[in-house]
Structure 1
Amino acid sequence: MTKIPLFLFISLITLSWAQTKNSAVTTDDYLDILRNNLSGEQAYETTAFIEQFWRVVGNEGFNKSIHKVAASLEAAGYVLEENASNTDRFTYRLEKRPLQHPTWEILDANITLVGKNTPLLSYTTNRNMVYLNSISTPKNGTTAEVIYVEGIDDLQRIPVKGKIIFTGINGPEIYTEGVLKKGALGIITYDNPDYLRPEKNINSIQFRSLTFDPKNTWGIALSYQAKENLMAALEKGKVYAKVFISSKIYPSEELTLVADIKGSEIPGERLVFSAHVQEPGANDNASGVGAQLEMATVAAKLIGHESIYAQRTMTFIWGDEIISTKRYLQENEKRAKGIKWGLSLDMVGENTAITGGSFLIEKMPDPSAIWTRGKDKHTEWGGKPLTLEDMKPHYLNDYMIHNFLKQGKVAHWEVNANPYEGGSDHTPFLDSNIPGLLFWHFTDQFYHTDSDRLDKVSQETLKNVSIAALASALTLVNGDSYAAMDIVKIVQNAATNRLSEEFLLGDKSIKAGNSVKSEVAVVKAWEDWYIKAIASTTDLASPENTVILDKAILEAQAIIESQAKMFVSELEK
């Protein structure tokens, strides 16, 4: 913790922000420019194209999606890297790698209970009904008795060979034991979580997967309504079902698309956006692919016309979730050292009036992931409790929240944040000690279901996310000491508000009989986190203007320390 003599503290306070100039172009300037140039139309149209495909890495739908984005980049002025000259600032490349396992795609499927005239499920209405990596049945389907298995122990006493297993829990475990080891023909499961509101969305199915195995047969996932119908039939006696699946499993290659806007002054330093293409939904994640494309094309247009600048490099990655981003960070050590920020776009286009939830910024690990209380709350996705050793102090959290709230205020658009949970393309950045955030939506009652289609996507949301994300990115890639001082002020205000909130929560907790020591620890943890977050703004410092930034940092840290000391003293009385 930085200790500052009183005379220095007073002298720093008297310096006043009025004595420093603002950045040549502020985030507000970028927001204004982008509101006039970014409509969300390209993002929405791209989402509409991509969401028609059930996308698995290497399959036809995935590859068509990648090529669609590549063609759009080229139309926007990006040059294929192998054809680019040294003066081309907008470039892209298509990376190809052999897949370790074959890819998969579904063509058609249905399941019918023997004696019924209509299918229990059909692919035409439920495209998530077949487990990924399921093989085709014979052309005329396969018919067998359906046996209900409540748990894994039942497989020790219930003969399942040649039959179809139906279960509500532990699908993968029961598949391995009952199908691969004991000879059942396949598995039928139902396990839609409560946040999907299955009793309301009775025909939705959340997609499921089998681990690739050459001995695989098939799995079918049920909607709530199909589960109820099957259970009702089983209560009446023996049930036989006819299952028909047509799928393709074939060797392929993995495609990753990478586009760069080369920095004009500091090209070795960069901000990286990442959006994954695989997964079959519209919001998850055709929306992230579309938003990132429009950001890349609008940025190229404005930079090409010299309406804006990019002193550092901006990179855009489209590929396989986590895998493509992780590889990008690990395969080139020199390039990785220059990556200063990573931003993940995942489920960013939701019409929340239909899906529920709100837009969220998932923060880098801060103390709210240890003590989740007050206004902080985890999503239904959930997160494991973190420790002080897991903290990632940095200005990016509050800086991004501040900018998105500005866009939200203008657009009447709800913006919230959640403690760190993981599970998307921001995690490889954090694992590599690179500041990284996730832009997403949750709770979503159609998450990973076959109801996640274009009617759940909002062009207005795509526009708002893209404007706020790109404006923030442009500020950072052009950032200098003056931009850093603006950020210091933003983070300082966030720190003082947070400490005040934690003091009130701590005081209430102590009055309720809880430990003073524990509540003091919370305040001190936030103090430490913000002292370090303020200091992290030095990564934007201009060599010729480090002194003024250092003074701003010391001033802000002194205010945070003084406030924390006062609150600790009050809590300890």
Structure 2
Amino acid sequence: MGRIIPLKKILKRQGIVLSLLCFSFIVGCSQQTNEEPVDYFTIVRPEFTGKLAYETTDFVEDYWRIVGNTGFNKTIYLIADSLEASGYVLEEKAQENNRFTYRIEKRSMTHQTWEPVSASLQIVGADKPLLLSETNRNMTYLNSVSTPKKGVKTEVVWIKSLKDFESASIKGKVVFAEMSARKLYKTAIGKGAIGILTYDNPAYLQPEKNTTSIQFRSLPAQDDDGFWGIALSYEAKEKLIAQLKKGKTEVLVNIQTKRYPSEELTIVAEIKGNELPHERLVYSAHVQEPGANDNATGVGTQLEMARTAARLFAEGKIDFKRTMTFLWGDEIISTRRYIQEDAQRANGIKWGISLDMVGENTSVTGGTFLIEKMPDPSAIWTRGKDKHSEWGGEVLKLADMKPHYLNDFIISNFKKQGEYANWVVETNPFEGGSDHTPFLQADIPGLLLWHFTDQFYHTDYDRINKVSQETMKNVGTAALVSGLELVNSDAAFALSQISNLKRKAFERLENEFQLSLTAIESGKDLEDEIAILNAWEDWYTKAILTVNDALPNSKTAMEKDIKKANVSIKSKTKELVSRLKTASQN
């Protein structure tokens, strides 16, 4: 005998709105309800352990991954096998009633792929190597060619500035410089150098503390050129300089790499919505890069999210009105292609969320979990509690703003998980540089989940011992819960966002007012401070308008609630501006 499911639960599972949740205490609402919205946290938390995310990270981080190479491809097929095991069906074999599907997209590559095999660097006359790939797997520049099997012996030419190239004789030699390879690569090749040795670790890596770590570097793809590069640790750089100061210095270099034709793989998993399948949320995690946190943790966390969603559906605990998509591929490139190659599909993408560096053991790395917001005025006026990461970001303009409820919705949900798990959640103004940017460039709401500053970022110290299963559990739980609320969003959800946005607008305006008072006291221009308040008012009143995209049918149902909230925000701004003017006159 089958399990009997009450009608109320059937309706709820199918996403049928029985009634609207009333938020009259903040925004006003004529509808009444006796039913609470689904608490997805209580559903997801017991199921999402972080175990699969951690195990996947442990597998993936063993490999130095770029598109087309062994580690990248093994990761793609590991994901495919794991999805199959949880009920996702290969798209080409799927039937009409299969709502959980996946596909592996294959594309030809215009250049060869690459992977490191081994490398060593030794000062001639020294007892032991300066660097070995066994302990510094990032020492070999990406796209370096191999030296002869027995290595090469060559003189080192120390270039302290680009002007030194004018008089230096470097043909057949290796160039050493404390600068980016971008500044010297072409000149070095043009003058006949066979390779480069460089050091340029940024201060946030704490190189004088982490003396043997190396941040990976890359050369342009070179299927024909025969050039190589070695990145130095702080310790190796200091030893080399000490030797160079004594006089002529030669080194023994042995680099073995693989370069071979391959294909680009991208894997896309989808959970088809049962009511609005053409509308979708897209999660994106890039596979390439050699580290554990960057970005094996994004790969693993997103995989556990996809599998947890499948399990909860199979258990009859959740359903999906709209489509939920999971994308794994090449950073930015795969996401941009997914958006651009199918205009009809792109038109249905309502939200994009990037998972990049989401599993750090912050007590070891020193990083903080961050939500990088869509462009808001904090990316123009970064002050108070708003802080850019050491990655940094350019100052934006008012024309760059992207008002939307997604910012405060995601932040609020992650803060809930933070309070529940005693986990620190912070934000940073928009900076760009990951898979959220293609969404924004296509005018699709999108933001980034990540960690920074990490003293092991892009270094060969970024290994599994810097990863926390608990962190991935928290990120994955909050990200999946947020996704379930988004794909099942309705009028009740829209009302809750109006409420949240009004509350957040008031908090922001009050905070900015206090900062402006201090600024005026220190001599700042009153009109400039008023402009900041007006910018935040404009951002939030426009963000509230976007709640209509949560409504599958009527776009006018929220008009009264939206208008009432925005009148309140404008009134609040007017009051604070008046108080600013008064304060400036005293």
Q: 1:129 aligns with which of 130, 133, 139?
A: 139
The residue type paired with residue 253 of structure 1 is E
Q: 2:374 aligns with which of 364, 370, 375?
A: 364
**Is 2:219 the counterpart of 1:210?**
yes
Q: 1:104 aligns with which of 114, 122, 140?
A: 114
Find the aligned partners of 2:32 and 2:531 in 1 and give their Cα distance.
36
- State the partner residue of 1:520: 530
Q: Do 2:194 and 2:226's aligned partners in 1 also have CA atoms closer than 8 Å?
A: no
Distance apart, 1:21 and its partner CA: 3.3
Equivalent residues, number: 558
- State the partner residue of 2:279: 269
Q: Note closer, same or farther for the CA distance 1:360–1:570 as it changes in structure 2 (3 Å cut).
A: same
Q: Do 1:256 and 1:319's aligned partners in 2 also have CA atoms closer than 8 Å?
A: yes
Distance apart, 1:152 and its partner CA: 1.4
Deviation string 1:204-243 (CA, Å, 9 cap, x unpaired) is 0000000113214100000011111111111112111000
Distance apart, 1:543 and its partner CA: 2.9
Q: Note closer, same or farther for the CA distance 1:508–1:183 as it changes in structure 2 (3 Å cut).
A: same
- State the partner residue of 2:3: none
Q: Do 1:206 and 1:449's aligned partners in 2 also have CA atoms closer than 8 Å?
A: yes
Q: Do 1:135 and 1:217's aligned partners in 2 also have CA atoms closer than 8 Å?
A: yes
- State the partner residue of 2:191: 182
Q: Do 1:363 and 1:418's aligned partners in 2 also have CA atoms closer than 8 Å?
A: yes
Q: 1:539 aligns with which of 538, 544, 549?
A: 549
- State the partner residue of 2:33: 21
**Is 2:98 the counterpart of 1:88?**
yes
- State the partner residue of 2:5: none
Q: Do 2:142 and 2:219's aligned partners in 1 also have CA atoms closer than 8 Å?
A: yes
Find the aligned partners of 1:544 and 1:424 in 2 and give their Cα distance.
35
Deviation string 1:76-107 (CA, Å, 9 cap, x unpaired) is 10000000000000000000001111000000
* Comparing 503-512 and 404-413, the one that deviates more: 503-512
- State the partner residue of 1:337: 347
Q: Do 2:120 and 2:132's aligned partners in 1 also have CA atoms closer than 8 Å?
A: yes
> How does the TM-score come out when normalised to structure 1?
0.96
Find the aligned partners of 1:333 and 1:353 in 2 and give their Cα distance.
44
Distance apart, 1:550 and its partner CA: 2.1
Distance apart, 1:497 and its partner CA: 0.1
Aligned residue runs from structure 1 range 396-435, under 5 A? 396-435=406-445
Q: Do 1:23 and 1:483's aligned partners in 2 also have CA atoms closer than 8 Å?
A: no
For the residue of structure 2 that corresponds to 1:518, the secondary structure is helix
For the residue of structure 2 that corresponds to 1:184, the secondary structure is coil
- State the partner residue of 1:9: none
The residue type paired with residue 195 of structure 2 is G
Find the aligned partners of 2:180 and 2:186 in 1 and give their Cα distance.
10
- State the partner residue of 1:560: 569
The residue type paired with residue 569 of structure 2 is I
Q: Do 2:27 and 2:561's aligned partners in 1 also have CA atoms closer than 8 Å?
A: no
For the residue of structure 1 that corresponds to 2:114, the secondary structure is strand
Distance apart, 1:173 and its partner CA: 2.5
Distance apart, 1:558 and its partner CA: 1.4
Q: Do 1:22 and 1:482's aligned partners in 2 also have CA atoms closer than 8 Å?
A: no
Distance apart, 1:23 and its partner CA: 7.4
Distance apart, 1:384 and its partner CA: 0.5
Find the aligned partners of 1:479 and 1:341 in 2 and give their Cα distance.
12
Q: Note closer, same or farther for the CA distance 1:135–1:14 as it changes in structure 2 (3 Å cut).
A: closer
For the residue of structure 2 that corresponds to 1:205, the secondary structure is coil
Find the aligned partners of 2:556 and 2:360 in 1 and give their Cα distance.
42
Distance apart, 1:546 and its partner CA: 4.3
Find the aligned partners of 1:22 and 1:291 in 2 and give their Cα distance.
36
Find the aligned partners of 1:463 and 1:95 in 2 and give their Cα distance.
29
Q: Note closer, same or farther for the CA distance 1:246–1:567 as it changes in structure 2 (3 Å cut).
A: same
* Comparing 502-511 and 314-323, the one that deviates more: 502-511
**Is 2:485 the counterpart of 1:475?**
yes
- State the partner residue of 1:72: 82
Q: 1:46 aligns with which of 48, 53, 56?
A: 56
For the residue of structure 2 that corresponds to 1:543, the secondary structure is coil
Q: Do 1:165 and 1:184's aligned partners in 2 also have CA atoms closer than 8 Å?
A: yes
Where do 5+ consecutive residues of structure 2 fail to align? 1-23
Q: 1:193 aligns with which of 185, 202, 206?
A: 202
- State the partner residue of 1:118: 128
**Is 2:579 the counterpart of 1:570?**
yes
- State the partner residue of 2:310: 300
The residue type paired with residue 295 of structure 1 is M
For the residue of structure 2 that corresponds to 1:314, the secondary structure is strand
Deviation string 1:348-389 (CA, Å, 9 cap, x unpaired) is 000000001210000000000000000001000000110000
Q: Do 1:364 and 1:437's aligned partners in 2 also have CA atoms closer than 8 Å?
A: yes
**Is 2:462 the counterpart of 1:452?**
yes
- State the partner residue of 1:227: 237
For the residue of structure 2 that corresponds to 1:254, the secondary structure is strand
**Is 2:397 the counterpart of 1:384?**
no
Distance apart, 1:16 and its partner CA: 4.1
Find the aligned partners of 1:24 and 1:314 in 2 and give their Cα distance.
23
Q: Do 2:213 and 2:460's aligned partners in 1 also have CA atoms closer than 8 Å?
A: yes
The residue type paired with residue 293 of structure 2 is N
Q: 1:140 aligns with which of 140, 150, 162?
A: 150
Distance apart, 1:507 and its partner CA: 1.2
